[in-house]
Amino acid sequence: MKSPTIREIARIAECSLSTVSKAINGRADISESTRRRILKIVGDNNYTPSALGKGLKNQRTENIGVIFSKEDRPLSLNPFYSRILEGIEAELAINKYNLVLCLTVDKKTNNYPKMIRERNVDGVILISVQKEAFVNQLMDDRIPLVLVDPNSNYHNATQVVIDNEDGAFQATQYLILKGHKKIAFISPHLDRDSFRLRYAGFNKAMTHYHLSIDENYVQIEGLEHGYDQVRRLLQLKERPTAMFIANDLNVMYAYQAIRDLHLKIPEDISIVGFDDIAWSKIASPQLTTMRVYKEEMGSIAVRNLLNIISNDKASAITTILPVKLIERNSVKDLNE
């Protein structure tokens, strides 16, 4: 773990510390010949400036914090957020930043995780639902941040969100154009913006095509109850011919419930999901769903954050990512 310090390099090169520093940092006030000579020595000795020394001097850690909220789901790293995390990591690596991961926000200790309290990050990316007080405090403390898929809209914060409403509209419209009229809407609780907007998109599409919504067809009780939701739905006297399920994770439960009822997809019931997680493509039948560009959400979040960090007065922007319908085999065409 011991590796040379700038002092040893200077000793070997028989020059001062500052000269070595200049060579490393590409400063102009150094002759080309000494730079090359020093860089050679640096390479030979495998020297890299210590993050601690550099950081202390520059007041920059080159670390970015990524904070997930545990309350969100039992599984904080579900397939959806994992992909976002991968996008973040890749983009940070490109920009030579480290990723400091935090899955569990401590209730005590000022509510700030260690990495923030000790100023070990230059900024943070907040994923999904976060306590409002927490976000506000961060903003008060002027900590550069960007929100990804937040629970609700924070004005004057930089955010990366999905075009949930449009996506839901597209999904619902797709079912309608396939001849479906009795369409159910299934979703986790609507306490999050994402799902509220997906519900809004569903409503908008139904209204737009002059279709009425049977209130029994709207099930918004949360992911855990996905199985029961669907079961109940399909045992209704007059059951829907299609379901728009606002979350592919939920669809996994739905598939199971349907199978246990000995019904077939899409013959007996059509389904469109949302998110396009890895499972959706290998499900049987493969799920028609709205693709969300998860890695891209992550990389955009990073680029925006680094921009805020380097450009103090950058204004808060909200990036809305479009989604795309991926047609697979879970929807029956009633027009045929």
Residues near its own copies, by CB under 8 A: 1-3, 46, 48-56, 61-63, 66, 75-77, 79, 82-83, 85-86, 89-90, 93, 96, 98-104, 106, 110, 113-115, 117-120, 141-144, 227, 252-253, 255-256, 259-260, 278-279, 282-284
Nearest one of 244, 168, 240 to 208, comparing CA atoms: 168
How many Cβ atoms from other residues are within 10 Å of residue 199's Cβ? 20
Structure tokens at 154: 């924070």
Binding segment (CB under 7 A) for DNA, from list 46-54, 69-77, 154-162, 246-254: 46-54
Q: Where are the alpha helices (DSSP H) in the chain?
A: 6-13, 17-24, 32-44, 51-58, 79-94, 114-117, 132-140, 164-177, 193-208, 226-234, 248-260, 278-282, 294-310
Phi, psi for 221 (deg, rounded to 5): -105, 5
In sign, the C-alpha dihedral spanning 6, 7, 8, 13 is positive
Is 30 a binder of DNA (CB under 7 A)? yes
Binding segment (CB under 7 A) for DNA, from list 49-57, 95-103, 186-194, 296-304: 49-57
Residue among 28 and 282 whose Cβ is closer to DNA: 28
> Judged by CB under 7 A, which of 12, 54, 239, 319 binds DNA?
54
> Judged by CB under 7 A, which of 59, 156, 315, 335 binds DNA?
59
Q: Exposed/middle/buried for 200, CB within 10 Å: 0-12, 13-18, 19+?
A: middle
Q: Which does 275 bind (CB under 5 to 8 A by kind): DNA, its own copies, none?
A: none
Is 117 a binder of DNA (CB under 7 A)? no
Q: CB–CB of 199/168 below 8 Å?
A: yes
Residue 138 and residue 136: Cα distance in Å, rounded? 5
Binding segment (CB under 7 A) for DNA, from list 14-22, 123-131, 245-253, 268-276: 14-22
Residue 102 and residue 114: Cα distance in Å, rounded? 9
Q: CB–CB of 12/39 below 8 Å?
A: no
Q: CB–CB of 130/69 below 8 Å?
A: yes
Residue among 45 and 153 whose Cβ is closer to DNA: 45
Q: How far is the CB of 122 from its own copies (least distance, A)?
A: 8
Residue among 224 and 333 whose Cβ is closer to its own copies: 224
Residue 123 and residue 141: Cα distance in Å, rounded? 11
Q: Which does 96 bind (CB under 5 to 8 A by kind): DNA, its own copies, none?
A: its own copies
Q: Which does 27 bind (CB under 5 to 8 A by kind): DNA, its own copies, none?
A: DNA
Q: How far is the CB of 78 from its own copies (least distance, A)?
A: 8
Q: Which does 236 bind (CB under 5 to 8 A by kind): DNA, its own copies, none?
A: none
Q: How far is the CB of 16 from DNA (least distance, A)?
A: 3
Residue 193 and residue 134: Cα distance in Å, rounded? 18
In the complex, the residues that contact DNA under the rule CB under 7 A are 5-7, 15-19, 21-22, 24-25, 27-34, 47-50, 52-54, 56-59
